[in-house]
Chain A
């Protein structure tokens, strides 16, 4: 329950308490008066403003001189002497220029890099379409199935004259997007079943669901990933092997399902009893009642915490680095393992952090807007 609440509260207040709290904005009043009202209204506020401004200025100057003024943007080949001379004084962005493709696509064959590029844009298009409420109907399922088929064909190849690329050579951003997308998409139905099971009248079903959810939520994702990488092969009958990416994907799905189930349970609990009783009195069966009456309302209620959980899972896919899968973070880490580029890890990590930030920030902004839109009838 506690987790559900944490997901509940944070986005609610993010939207309900606009940042304009301190007073009127720039647009309403002249800037000088605005500054006097919001920055220099009392002596301690003035002192606070000046102290913070000093630190921000120092930080900004340091960042600009390191990241822009003193930075090295280009080096000849892998001759990184120019970068070595300015370690600690300026950034070596030449690393990104040189290793951009490696970080984005891992060891995918160089001539075929257009394929993962198209895959990335396809994923973005799918996310964009799913974000539009206009498409929230049955067709979305077909759009996704079509999109994922194309993505599979592009990544593997082997048909339509495309060169076959084995999964071991995939890497970079496509891996992160695949793990996150399939993790969420496949965990979602499972989590609905788990959440329904946890609220079931049948004691055996309830016990199984509660045990599963609490067990998974009690252990770190890392232990599940270790399990997937070293224990999973023992589970399978002799002769059958599953590749590492798929095993990690299964672990992520099982992990995500437990967390999503708790969020959905929060929504189920919020549906008034009258709705269940009305459905019963209409003579609907359990699945009709759940599918037509309860779930549509419950899921709508928990969209913001669901998106928050999605953001968490997107970030958590980076943990596959620890079991040696080449996702975005791991390819950045590997890029600076080469002797010529060793020691420029910060630049690589900042670059990757920006990519993660863009994805997560977009999701959280979207959830805030959506929540404002969905609760419009309440805030009139």
Chain B
């Protein structure tokens, strides 16, 4: 890039056409033709080999198999699914399972990572050291090993449903997975939800009004506290006024297994715990470096201006720290999504696992792998686009 003007200077006058090899632009065109030709040849060679092989081995091509009956049992599914359904539906179930673990993982890893990152900066020596050891251990052991570890822990170390551990009332840990109570839907909850929505809208309007008033008069309004009251306090009040209807479906032991409640299968629990604890270590380091990147002078200057502690954090430190934190965190989110493909090793039916079974059953390797790659490229691209948008939103606006 840097040499562009220079080349123009060294090149011949524009009026004459010089096709000699000493002309850099002629050379550049020649090089590109060579590179494209070489890459094109390799691709053509591989494709033609593949075509011949597919023909001689009589392997079917195309995505026709998607409409056929899969006959493929899937352990857990967010939607109704039976082995009699088509391959397309089986793959969709796998995709939903991937998204489920990835989204939950991203949320939980962000929370845990932020806590640990802040803990590493704590003035309490014991807390900082504990966080440091956690980060070092998690970062230096392969994720696949950690997943196998958690899975084995669930399968071999936890007791059967009869002697399940119960760390909290209604929560049961056994080798069948984690059982948690399920909140039953009550008709009154509709009003509570409506109040929450109304609270959010009211808070937004309040925020706009307060900002305009502050710009006009300089007077401040306690927006955060009022908004908290509107979004949390008011619905709680409605909930209490309606008689606080609360019904939990508790898991109960019947015979050899639990009935009722929600289940996290050992595979899902192991995958989620593994992904979250592993990625949290990386996010912790990012958060720590982001906070350290804001120089102390900024805090001092803000305090000197008379801002309160909370305001310093919200208006001065966090916006600057986020600028450092967001781009690398994006790649961690992408990593969680891509790493969820390790589910195949512990038998959680994610997209890779389902597509792998599909390609083994149909023998159509190319289509199976194309599906996996297309899914991940789409997810990666969407997360990148969203985070780029967010990054632009918070980036430094230069004159």
In the complex, what distance in Å separates the CA atom of A135 from the CA atom of B121?
Answer: 38
Q: B141 at interface (Cβ–Cβ under 8 A)?
A: yes
* Interface contact B377-A215, CB-CB below 8 Å: yes
A17→B332 contact, CB < 8 A: no
Q: A230-B365, A315-B143, A343-B156 are in contact. Are A203 and B32 (CB under 8 A)?
A: yes
- Nearest chain-A residue to B137 (Cβ)? A357
Give Cα A39–Cα B2 distance, bound, in whole angstroms. 55
Most interface-central of A14, A199, A234, A238 (chain B CB within 10 A): A234
CB neighbours (8 Å) of B290 from chain A are 9
Q: Is B356 an interface residue (CB 8 A)?
A: yes
B386 at the A/B interface (Cβ < 8 Å)?
A: no
The answer to whether the Cβ of B123 comes within 8 Å of any Cβ in the partner chain is yes
Q: Which of A6, A56, A276 makes the CB contact (< 8 A) with B286?
A: A6
B36 A235 Cβ-Cβ under 8 A: no
Does A333 make an interface contact (CB < 8 A)?
yes
Cβ of A146 within 8 Å of any chain B Cβ, yes or no, is no
Cα distance, A372 to B133, chains bound together (Å): 21
Per DSSP, chain B at the interface is helix
- A52 interface residue (CB < 8 Å to B): yes
**Is B56 an interface position by the 8 A CB rule?**
yes
Q: Which of B127-145 contact A (CB under 8 A)?
A: 127-130, 132, 136-137, 139-145
Inter-chain residue pair count (beta carbon < 8 A): 223
Per-residue CB contact flags for chain A residues 10-54 toward chain B (1 = under 8 Å, else 0) read 101110110101110000000000000011010001001100110
The reply on B23 being an interface residue by CB < 8 A is no
Q: Which residues of chain A come closer than 8 Å to B376, judged between CB atoms?
A: 218-220, 223
Query: Does B205 have its Cβ within 8 Å of any Cβ on chain A?
Result: no
Contacting residue for B144 out of A21, A233, A276, A318, CB 8 A: A318
**B344 and chain A: residue at smallest CB distance:** A322
| Interface window among A74-82, A102-110, A345-353 | A345-353
The answer to whether B123 and A6 touch across the interface, beta carbons within 8 angstroms, is: no
Are B373 and A219 in contact, CB atoms less than 8 angstroms apart? Answer: yes
A127 lies within 8 A of chain B by Cβ: no
Asked if residues B50 and A38 are in contact (CB atoms below 8 Å), the reply is no
Could you say which of B31, B53, B142, B359 contacts A202, with CB atoms under 8 Å apart?
A: B31
Bound together, the chains give a CA A3 to CA B328 distance in angstroms of: 6
B352 touches A220 (CB 8 A): yes
**Complex partner residue of A356 from B126, B140, B324, CB under 8 angstroms:** B140
The reply to whether B124 and A208 contact each other, CB–CB distance below 8 Å, is no
Q: A346-B149, A346-B156 are in contact. Are A201 and B3 (CB under 8 A)?
A: yes
| Chain A residues, Cβ within 8 Å of B341 | 220, 222-223
C-alpha spacing A162/B90, complex, angstroms? 52
Check B56–A238 contact: CB distance below 8 A. Answer: yes
Any chain A CB within 8 A of the CB of B39? yes
CA–CA, A193 to B145, complex, Å? Answer: 33
Q: In the complex, how many angstroms separate the beta carbon of B263 from the nearest chain A beta carbon?
A: 23
Tell whether B148 is near chain A: CB-to-CB under 8 Å. yes
**Total residues of chain A contacting the partner, CB 8 A:** 78
Q: Please state if B331 and A3 are interface contacts (CB–CB under 8 Å).
A: yes
A297 within 8 A of partner (CB): no
Would A222 and B352 be within 8 Å (CB), given that A10-B285, A205-B31 are in contact? yes
Contact in complex: A38, B123 (CB < 8 Å):
yes
**Knowing A220-B339, A227-B369 touch, does A346 contact B130 (C-beta < 8 A)?**
no
Is the pair A204, B49 in contact by a Cβ cutoff of 8 Å? no
Known contacts A218-B376, A219-B376: A22-B125 contact under CB 8 Å: yes
Instruction: Decide yes or no: A236 and B49 within 8 Å by CB, A329-B142, A352-B145 being known contacts.
Output: yes
Contact check: which of B49, B128, B139, B368 meets A234 at CB < 8 Å?
B49
Q: In the complex, A343→B148 CA distance in Å?
A: 13
From known contacts A315-B142, A318-B142, infer whether A202 and B32 are also in contact, taking CB-CB under 8 Å. yes
A23 and B342 within 8 A (CB)? no
Nearest opposing residue in chain B for A223, CB measure: B372
A235 lies within 8 A of B124 (CB) = no
Q: A220-B341, A223-B341 are in contact. Are A12 and B369 (CB under 8 A)?
A: no
Task: Say which size band chain B's interface belongs to.
Answer: 35 or more
Contact present for A235 and B377 (CB under 8 Å)? no
Please tell me if A88 contacts chain B, counting CB pairs below 8 Å: yes
Which of B49, B126, B140, B148 contacts A349 (CB under 8 A)? B148
Q: How far is the CB of A105 from chain B (nearest CB, A)?
A: 19
Q: B14: CB under 8 A from chain A?
A: no
> Which of A219, A238, A277, A315 makes the CB contact (< 8 A) with B377?
A219
* Interface flag for B1 (CB, 8 Å): yes
In the complex, chain A residues whose CB is within 8 Å of the CB of B146: 353
Question: Known contacts A218-B381, A223-B372: does B342 contact A319 (CB below 8 Å)?
Answer: yes
A311 contacts the other chain (CB 8 A) = yes
Q: Which residues of B contact A3 (CB under 8 A)?
A: 328, 331
B125 interface neighbour in A39, A319, A329, Cβ under 8 Å: A39
Known: A6-B328, A38-B125, A230-B369. A356 touches B288 (CB 8 A): no
Give complex CA distance A21, B123 in Å: 8
Per-residue contact bits, chain B 48-63, to A (CB 8 Å; 1 contact, 0 not): 0110111010000000
Nearest residue in B to A199 (C-beta to C-beta)?
A: B1
Q: Which residues of B contact A49 (CB under 8 A)?
A: 124, 126-127
Contact B52 A238 (CB under 8 A): yes
For B121, the chain A residues whose CB sits under 8 A away are 21
Q: Does B303 contact A (CB under 8 A)?
A: no
B128 in contact with A208 (CB, 8 Å): no
**B36 to A: closest C-beta gap in Å:** 5
Q: Is A280 in contact with B3, judged by CB distance below 8 angstroms?
A: yes
Cα(A3)–Cα(B384), bound, Å: 11
B226 is an interface residue with CB less than 8 A from chain A: no
Asked if B253 is an interface residue, CB under 8 A from chain A, the answer is no
The verdict on B201 contacting chain A, using a C-beta distance below 8 Å, is: no
A56 near B130 with CB under 8 A, answer yes
Q: From A360, which residue of chain B is reached at the shortest CB distance?
A: B140
- Give the chain A neighbours of B77 by CB distance below 8 A: none
Give every chain A residue within 8 A of B338 (Cβ-Cβ): 219-221
With A and B bound together, what is the CA distance between A115 and B330 in angstroms?
A: 45
A361 to B137, CA, bound (A): 9
- Residues of chain B at the chain A interface (Cβ within 8 Å): 1-4, 6, 28, 31-32, 35-36, 39, 46, 49-50, 52-54, 56, 121-130, 132, 136-137, 139-146, 148-149, 152-153, 156-157, 282, 285-286, 288-290, 292-293, 324, 327-332, 338-339, 341-342, 344-345, 352, 356, 359, 365-366, 368-369, 372-373, 376-377, 380-381, 384, 387
Q: A10-B282, A13-B292 are in contact. List 14 more A-B contacts (CB 8 A).
A: A2-B387, A9-B324, A9-B328, A19-B129, A52-B124, A87-B157, A220-B341, A231-B369, A238-B52, A318-B142, A318-B145, A319-B342, A360-B139, A361-B140
List of 7 A-B pairs having minimum Cβ-Cβ separation, nearest first: A6-B328, A360-B140, A13-B289, A345-B152, A276-B2, A315-B142, A204-B32
Q: List 8 A-B contacts (CB under 8 A).
A: A2-B330, A17-B289, A48-B124, A202-B31, A237-B52, A321-B345, A349-B145, A357-B140
